Amino acid sequence: MEEGSGRKPDENRKGRRDERLAPQPEEEDYAAENEEQINLFSRVMANALGQRTRVPAEPPAMFRTEKHQDIRMWLLSCTDYFGRNSWRLENEAQRIPYSISRMDMKEVPPFGLTYRRQMSREIGYTRQEGYEFWHVLAEQALRRFGPTHEAEKSLREKGSVKYRGDVAKFLMEMDNLNIHARVTGIAERKMIEDELPVKELRRLSDREYVDDGEWLEGVRTVTRADEDFKERRDLRGGGPCGVT
């Protein structure tokens, strides 16, 4: 019996579970925990999707020491490929063999083969310190395949040639210097166009040209026609400033 009550304790309530509702957590705590879980899920999904949605860069073209190829641009394309495919070529130990594999050994002297053997210290080859670093490969390639001092000099001189009213002489000077400078394509067109009068450039833009040879002939024809007109005008006494 309970003291002072005169009643026996309710034995049926012994060991029964407390079915009262547990107090709800504070709203701020619940929101913070929920936000943390959402952020974690977002990071995991972004990571997973990132691996699937990366667009790989185009591999660098095979280097064959052809006239239109510039070793500096080729090395730059390799660097761009590495930067955009870093999950495939994670370190320089992987990048150097890959770059050498993009050199055509039929066209390129045994530069790549010798470099790799010296880097890996194959039998009969002395290991060269630093050959495992990309910047060393780039320096060695530039020394072997880069423009010579004579080519650099010709390129600077070609950039200083001016058109002074004689297109035949102008194009001949540009062509002579190009023996060593070896500028082709858009780069050569740009160097010539920078020296031509605007009127000639407008006439050149009126049609399309199959190749550089046809374009150069167009430059010669259009510019020479204007030179002939000025000569006839001067012979008639019109002077250099106007037409009679």
Domain-ending residue, one of 145, 161, 187? 145
The length of the chain, given as a count of residues: 244
244 in a structural domain: no
169 in a structural domain: yes
**179 and 135 in one domain?**
no
pLDDT tens, residue by residue, 193-243: 999 999 899 998 888 888 888 999 999 999 999 999 999 988 887 555 544
pLDDT tens, residue by residue, 126-141: 788 888 888 898 888 8
Domain-ending residue, one of 114, 145, 176? 145
42 in a structural domain: no
Take residue 130 and report the two structure tokens written for it. 């630093």
**Read out DSSP for 30-72?**
HHHHHHHHHHHHHHHHHHHHHHHH--PPPPPPPB---TT--HH
| Blockwise average pLDDT, block size 10, the chain, 244 residues | 51 54 52 56 50 60 79 86 79 85 78 84 78 88 78 84 93 88 83 92 89 91 92 76 44
**139 and 155 in one domain?**
no
In single-letter form, the type of residue at position 13 comes to R
pTM of the model: 0.42
Alpha helices, DSSP H only, in the chain?
A: 27-53, 71-84, 92-101, 111-120, 134-145, 149-160, 167-181, 185-193, 198-204, 212-235
